A and B are shown apart, each in its own frame.
Chain A
Amino acid sequence: MTFAEEPLLELEHLKTQFFTEDGVVKAVDDVSFKLHRGEVLGLVGESGCGKTITSLSILKLVPTPPGKIVGGKVMFNGEDLLELSEERMRQIRGNEISMIFQDPMTSLNPVFTVKNQILENIKLHQDVSEDEALEKGIELMQMVGIPEARRRINDYPHLFSGGMRQRVMIAMALSCNPQMLIADEPTTALDVTIQAQVLDLIKDLQEDLNMAVLYITHNLGVIAEIADNVAVMYAGNIVEYTDVNTIYDKPDHPYTRALLSSIPRMDKKISRLGVIRGTVPNLITPPSGCRFHPRCPYATEKCSTQVPPYVEIEPSHFSFCHYAATL
């Protein structure tokens, strides 16, 4: 899929670190990617590789202290968000960029009604009366498929199931027609059948509203369903970036390949699922050179001493490897 030239969001060499007693955690290290209007970018990677911190950095919601964005740019609509005042940032959050989270059981405030929490967002960013906001809220609840929305909007979150709560979160996130939605593992905490429903809902709404979506997951299967492009993240770095078809057919980076061989597939016969040797590196003292080298089957001397370049193997297919396109 091709998109208009000018990206909606462009991360340039973003660096976010946590200054803890044990040392500096380099959670996001030199991350760059682009996201266009109407595009869904999947951000995949193992637990702890920095996906959430990347998305929180975009909204400037990294818990500070100990966290701090130490470098780079977050260009959104041509503005560097990192330069903006907190006040201007607040106008962007929930209005131009919204976010939904992994665990719908804990991401709604238990002591306020759903109505209170949805309308709060609408009234914060739009100049509407209480009644208009309520109608809009009910409309949103209907849009995300909550039955009896008019009655249920008065309920407290604990009266909704996990899947319904995630729908409420989505309704809330979409209440101001944002240009971009960050979905941080929005289906991970749900039952499998409910996962599929919520995923379909996000996909449908994304198409209807022509939103850009940064879809975070550690599940490559989900990526196939929803994403246009994929960024694979490993230990704070983006190691491969390409479109969704290439990632399955011609993955380049050894980590991406290892990830793919570790999930079952319908279209290829594999006798055994692959396992990635070794453990996720700690981000206080990450491995030198290429961070993946201790676990990489192809690693050479060079990999442990020199940081690899971003190689554009084909147009819009980047691999962060010394041996890109040669393995």
Chain B
Amino acid sequence: MSLRNYVIRRLLFSIPLFLGISIILFALMINAPADYVDVLRLTNPTMSPEEAANIRHNLGLDREPMEQYILWLLGRNSEVGDWGNFFEEFANFVIFIPFRFIQDTGVLDFGVPDSNFEPGFIFGNMGRSFTGSSINSIIGALAWETIKLQLASLLMSLMIGIPLGIFSARKPYSRLDNLGTTLALFGVSMPVFWTGIMFILLFSDYKIFFGIRFPALGSTSYTLTGNEGAIELLVDELAHMILPTIVLGLAGTALVLRLTRSSMLEVLRQDYILTARSKGLPERLVIYKHALRNALLPVVTVVGLSIGFLLAGAALTETVFSWPGLGREAVARINLRDYNFMMGVNMLIAIMVIVSNLVTDITYAFLDPRIRY
């Protein structure tokens, strides 16, 4: 099978997977005890039952679960109730998509009427959060902050974890190996909220690093006036990234170090390493050519799969550092029982996981010629 067919087949297979995930998620949300309105009533005990019912009705929470799911998936009209009417509007909307698109670019005017049909998830619209704003735009605004932090910490874990792992494997039980594996154990065992707070105390409050106070709150200084130059803004942004990146990257570094070390130890025992040495190859080539490529296979798998959880993975770190990212927002929205928002974020994570799985498999096939699609 060619690579292209393989990718197409995998993508097609992911459609039912996707629907399955969305149904399960939706069922979980709908069956969770207490909904958005219950949470509102906690903060506003004087809300009358009529008022509550009214809000539920406006949000569509009083509909049948199945009905809610279809509206979320396909789209909603301000006036639904009659399914015949709904499907007619849905069909109209779908048929006119290309024309409306061209008309919107201003090239041609087909006279397509404005539709008050709000497209659903399959059109890439995650809908509105219960607080009224567009979920697409909330996520759009927050995602970059999360991705930025995650990529930086991923880079850190690869750049530190792989070389240290190689070194540890070449000199097992040496002093540096013992230090590295102990720190790695520490890194994977300590919860992020603890290391996060320790880092804030040590590097921000007590300024133990040459008296420098590292920023530990948010992703930019709140004292910015708007008159700063580009360089100044960049420095400010990078400075804010330092502590959260390290805290978030510690566990990843530890994981990569341990993986690289054990897999390298395994590979160095293989016969083909002896073959490489018996050819007279310098140790550098034996390690970095013959051993590393094989040893990195499990690392690629783990890192590839963890990229799928990139959007969700930083919730704790973001909370500790008040980082305006998606993870922290998601936690806040869970507390609000903002199901629409949660559906959006969860589905986005599901997409990322499916895609990163696919990308990992393809990368793996490139690295290991024995793998067939």
Chain B interface main SS type = helix
Given A101-B274, A109-B294, A169-B275, does the pair A125, B280 have CB atoms closer than 8 Å?
yes
Is B276 an interface residue, CB under 8 A from the partner? yes
- Give every chain A residue within 8 A of B278 (Cβ-Cβ): 59, 61, 93-94, 98-99
- With A and B bound together, what is the CA distance between A158 and B370 in angstroms? 7
- With A and B bound together, what is the CA distance between A111 and B291 in angstroms? 10
Are A109 and B277 touching (Cβ within 8 A)? no
Are B282 and A90 touching (Cβ within 8 A)? yes
**Number of A interface residues in the complex (CB < 8 A):** 29
Given A111-B294, A111-B367, A156-B370, does the pair A106, B277 have CB atoms closer than 8 Å?
no
In whole Å, how far is B372's beta carbon from the nearest beta carbon of chain A?
10
Per-residue contact bits, chain B 264-284, to A (CB 8 Å; 1 contact, 0 not): 000000111011111111100
Are B272 and A108 touching (Cβ within 8 A)? yes
Query: In the complex, which of the residues B271, B274, B276, B279 has the most CB atoms of chain A within 10 Å of its own CB atom?
Result: B279
- Give every chain B residue within 8 A of A124 (Cβ-Cβ): 279-281
**Number of B interface residues in the complex (CB < 8 A):** 19
The A/B interface has a contact count, at CB < 8 Å, of 68
The contact of A95 among B270, B276, B280, by CB within 8 Å, is B280
Is B290 an interface residue, CB under 8 A from the partner? yes
- Give every chain B residue within 8 A of A94 (Cβ-Cβ): 278-281
- Give every chain B residue within 8 A of A77 (Cβ-Cβ): none
Are A61 and B280 touching (Cβ within 8 A)? no
Are A110 and B274 touching (Cβ within 8 A)? no
Give the nearest-CB partner of B369 in chain A.
Answer: A156
Given A110-B368, A111-B367, A158-B370, does the pair A91, B271 have CB atoms closer than 8 Å?
no
Are A101 and B369 touching (Cβ within 8 A)? no
- Give every chain B residue within 8 A of A125 (Cβ-Cβ): 280
- Give every chain A residue within 8 A of B280 (Cβ-Cβ): 89-95, 121, 124-125
Give the nearest-CB partner of B275 in chain A.
Answer: A107
Are A120 and B370 touching (Cβ within 8 A)? no
- Give every chain B residue within 8 A of A95 (Cβ-Cβ): 280
Query: In the complex, which of the residues A111, A113, A169 has the most CB atoms of chain B within 10 Å of its own CB atom?
Result: A111
- With A and B bound together, what is the CA distance between A106 and B282 in angstroms? 21
Is A141 an interface residue, CB under 8 A from the partner? no
- With A and B bound together, what is the CA distance between A120 and B271 in angstroms? 17
- Give every chain A residue within 8 A of B282 (Cβ-Cβ): 90
Is A230 an interface residue, CB under 8 A from the partner? no
Is B63 an interface residue, CB under 8 A from the partner? no
- Give every chain A residue within 8 A of B272 (Cβ-Cβ): 106-110
- With A and B bound together, what is the CA distance between A111 and B371 in angstroms? 10
In whole Å, how far is A188's beta carbon from the nearest beta carbon of chain B?
13
Give the nearest-CB partner of B279 in chain A.
Answer: A94
The contact of B369 among A90, A111, A121, A172, by CB within 8 Å, is A111
Are B368 and A106 touching (Cβ within 8 A)? no
- With A and B bound together, what is the CA distance between A169 and B274 in angstroms? 12
Is B293 an interface residue, CB under 8 A from the partner? yes
The contact of A103 among B271, B367, B370, by CB within 8 Å, is B271
- Give every chain A residue within 8 A of B290 (Cβ-Cβ): 109, 112
Are B276 and A109 touching (Cβ within 8 A)? yes
Per-residue contact bits, chain B 234-264, to A (CB 8 Å; 1 contact, 0 not): 0000000000000000000000000000000
Query: In the complex, which of the residues B274, B275, B290 has the most CB atoms of chain A within 10 Å of its own CB atom?
Result: B275
- Give every chain A residue within 8 A of B276 (Cβ-Cβ): 109
- With A and B bound together, what is the CA distance between A20 and B294 in angstroms? 28
- Give every chain B residue within 8 A of A107 (Cβ-Cβ): 271-272, 274-275
In whole Å, how far is B301's beta carbon from the nearest beta carbon of chain A?
15
Give the nearest-CB partner of A97 in chain B.
Answer: B278
Are A106 and B369 touching (Cβ within 8 A)? no
Are A93 and B279 touching (Cβ within 8 A)? yes
In whole Å, how far is A272's beta carbon from the nearest beta carbon of chain B?
38
Given A101-B271, A156-B369, A158-B369, does the pair A111, B293 have CB atoms closer than 8 Å?
yes
- Give every chain B residue within 8 A of A120 (Cβ-Cβ): 279, 281
In whole Å, how far is B321's beta carbon from the nearest beta carbon of chain A?
41
Give the nearest-CB partner of A99 in chain B.
Answer: B278
Are A111 and B368 touching (Cβ within 8 A)? yes
- Give every chain A residue within 8 A of B271 (Cβ-Cβ): 101, 103, 106-107
Per-residue contact bits, chain A 60-99, to B (CB 8 Å; 1 contact, 0 not): 0100000000000000000000000000011111110011
Contact residues, B288-310 vs A (CB, 8 A): 290, 293-294
Shortest 8 CB-CB contacts between residues of A and residues of B = A94-B279, A93-B280, A94-B280, A156-B369, A109-B272, A106-B271, A90-B280, A107-B271
Residues of B whose CB lies within 8 Å of any CB of A are: 270-272, 274-282, 290, 293-294, 367-370
Residues of A whose CB lies within 8 Å of any CB of B are: 59, 61, 89-95, 98-99, 101, 103, 106-113, 120-121, 124-125, 156, 158, 169, 172
CB<8 Å pairs between A and B, sample of 29 = A61-B274, A61-B277, A90-B280, A91-B280, A92-B280, A93-B278, A93-B280, A94-B279, A94-B281, A95-B280, A98-B278, A103-B271, A106-B272, A107-B275, A108-B272, A109-B272, A110-B272, A111-B369, A112-B293, A120-B279, A121-B279, A121-B280, A124-B279, A125-B280, A156-B370, A158-B369, A158-B370, A172-B275, A172-B279
7 new A-B pairs (CB below 8 Å) besides A89-B280, A94-B279, A172-B275? Answer: A93-B278, A98-B279, A106-B271, A108-B272, A109-B275, A109-B276, A111-B293
